Amino acid sequence: MIVVDASAFGFALLDEGPFGDQCRDLLAEDDRWIAPEHWMVEVLSIIRGNLLGGKIAEEHAAEATDGLARLQVTVPLTRILLPRMWELRNNLSTYDAAYVAAAEVYGCRLLTADERLARAPGITCPVAVLG
């Protein structure tokens, strides 16, 4: 099992270069993915931002959105994660804390492209940083 944050899913769906390849390879190593309830909204926001920012074409955005809808992800209930998310409030955004809390609850590593998240004080899960 691995908790996958929105940044990692975003690179897997959008990046056609070596960074995206690395992300897809890491995801293929363990296909039992976990993410908190808001993960899909965050990934869709990444797709939208890349489209509006001119980084991807409309067709690529549509393909990524279709791919997003097909991903099979285990989603823990937020209420189970809330106590740990609250403990992390001084070091992480609520959104990032949900990913960390999920990894800690499930006893697995977190995959992210966010180096700041990986360096946050107080987290106890292993973190794999893309790049």
> What pairs with residue 34 in β-bridges?
3, 74
* 96 annotated as belonging to a binding site for a ligand: yes
Q: Report the Cα 115 to chain-centroid distance in Å.
A: 13
Sheet holding 127-129, edge to edge: 73-74, 33-34, 2-4, 109-112, 127-129
Q: H-type helices in 53-93, by residue range?
A: 58-70, 78-87
Q: Distance (Å, rounded) from C-alpha 37 to C-alpha 9? A: 14
Asked whether the beta carbons of 75 and 36 are under 8 A apart, the reply is yes
Binding residues for Mg(2+), by number, are 5, 96
Binding residues, by number, are 5, 96
